[in-house]
Amino acid sequence: MYNVTLIKGDGIGPSIMEVAVKIINAASTKINWEEAEAGMDAYNKYGTALPDETLASIEKNRIAFKGPLTTPVGKGFRSINVALRQRYDLYANVRPAKTWKGAQTRYDNVDIVIVRENTEGLYVGLEHYLTKEKDIAESLAVVTRKGSERIVEYAFNYAKENRRKKVTVCHKANILKYTSGLFLDVAREVAARYPEIEFDEKIIDASCMHLVMNPEQFDVIVTTNMFGDILSDLTAGLVGGLGLIPGANIGDSAALFEAVHGSAPDITGKNIANPTAVIMAGVMMLNHLGETVAATKIQRAVEKIIDEGQFVTPDLNPNSKTGTIEMGEAIIAAMQ
């Protein structure tokens, strides 16, 4: 049995996570869920968005399956997602975006994995005002050789283990000569240790243009924290939207699996949220645990349902009357 901390999260979180948990339970009897709270709802109830019980559960289980958590914009508590990544040193954020036959998009053949550095860069939280009037603000980015090396190593190892051919580092070393420059230097050094994998480097703004014009040229992308955050929403858009993209946050001694999207307050309570991203995060978790048979079973069923296009949520088929719950039921039926 694997003990997994389950955080259902805010907004659409509880509804999509319930569907995902049902599907995982139908495919594997080896997961023992330990439910814990975090996010805006926890904050309103307990005055903290990250209660001690939740931290104790993750500390003990070292594997968490998490729904989206709302982060207040511009004020209020800091992102719990960022806090968890930093606390458990979950340095590798892996976000795959692959074309689904059943999701209509501008491209037919996208298969990109973003490997985002998850603990450094501009998201370390070193921000403050420089004046009493709060009219000048400053933010510091931190990039270390150690942090850069382990994430680029992770990307190349991922490429090797998953039979990928190419790793592209996306950077802004022409302007950010120290922070992005260090990351690029280290990437070049690591790349030299993997001669069997093609290495490419692209400036981040040009990367965005190339991703939109010719996404098929990309395979694995490795980049710093904020660029990875932005690029992964872009790649989500290339394959059918945020409702489809899972994310794994991996460290040396803990791992947390979640959707790339947020709590989507605009569609909360309507039974229209697409559960695919969290279901595929569950697939990544099962693969991480070595439960590959269960993972493949779920993946095939999800592919079948999306390819058929009938029992999918309205973001994938605007004429569909299928809701979150019904899509989950169709996936379970397809697994039989």
Active-site residue, selected from the candidate residues 172, 202, 297, 315:
172
CA distance 185 to 167: 15
CB of 246 to ligand ATP, least distance (A): 11
CA distance 186 to 188: 5
Q: Tell me the angle at which helices 204-213 and 225-239 cross, rounded to the nearest 10 degrees.
A: 10
Q: Do residues 11 and 41 touch, judged by C-beta distance below 8 A?
A: no
Is residue 41 part of the annotated active site? The answer reads no
| Residue closer to ligand ATP, measured from CB, 223 or 232 | 232
Q: Which stretch binds ligand ATP (CB under 6 A): 19-27, 30-38, 262-270, 303-311?
A: 262-270
CB of 213 to ligand ATP, least distance (A): 23
Widest distance between CA atoms in the chain = 64
Name which of residues 294 to 313 contact ligand ATP (CB under 6 A): none
Question: With binding defined as CB under 6 A, does residue 262 bind ligand ATP?
Answer: yes
CB of 38 to ligand ATP, least distance (A): 13
Residue 219 to residues 99, 224, 249, Cα–Cα distance (Å): 13, 17, 19
Question: With binding defined as CB under 6 A, does residue 279 bind ligand ATP?
Answer: no
Question: With binding defined as CB under 6 A, does residue 242 bind ligand ATP?
Answer: yes
Question: With binding defined as CB under 6 A, does residue 14 bind ligand ATP?
Answer: no
DSSP class of 174? T
| Residue closer to ligand ATP, measured from CB, 15 or 28 | 15
Q: Which stretch binds ligand ATP (CB under 6 A): 80-88, 201-209, 255-263, 290-298?
A: 255-263
Is residue 146 part of the annotated active site? The answer reads no
Q: Using CB atoms within 10 A of its CB, is residue 121 exposed (0-12), middle (13-18) or buried (19+)? A: buried
Cα dihedral sign, 287-117-235-167? negative
Name which of residues 63 to 122 contact ligand ATP (CB under 6 A): 68, 70
Question: With binding defined as CB under 6 A, does residue 274 bind ligand ATP?
Answer: yes
Q: Which of 50, 231, 267, 312 binds ligand ATP (CB under 6 A)?
A: 267
Q: Which of 243, 246, 251, 282 binds ligand ATP (CB under 6 A)?
A: 243
Q: Which of 277, 283, 286, 295 binds ligand ATP (CB under 6 A)?
A: 277
Residue 111 to residues 101, 164, 243, 306, Cα–Cα distance (Å): 12, 10, 16, 17
Owner of token pair 């991996």: 250
Q: Cite the DSSP H helix spans in the chain.
A: 13-27, 40-46, 52-61, 80-87, 145-161, 179-192, 204-213, 225-239, 276-289, 292-308, 324-335
Active-site residue, selected from the candidate residues 123, 158, 219, 315:
123
Question: With binding defined as CB under 6 A, does residue 37 bind ligand ATP?
Answer: no
Active-site residue, selected from the candidate residues 10, 41, 219, 229:
229
The residue among 224, 227, 218 whose CA lies nearest residue 200 is: 218
Question: With binding defined as CB under 6 A, does residue 261 bind ligand ATP?
Answer: yes
Q: Which of 135, 138, 266, 318 binds ligand ATP (CB under 6 A)?
A: 266
Is residue 46 part of the annotated active site? The answer reads no
Is residue 123 part of the annotated active site? The answer reads yes
Q: What is the CA radius of gyration of the chain?
A: 20
Catalytic residue set: 123, 172, 205, 229
Residues that bind ligand ATP (CB under 6 A): 68, 70, 242-243, 261-267, 273-274, 277, 315
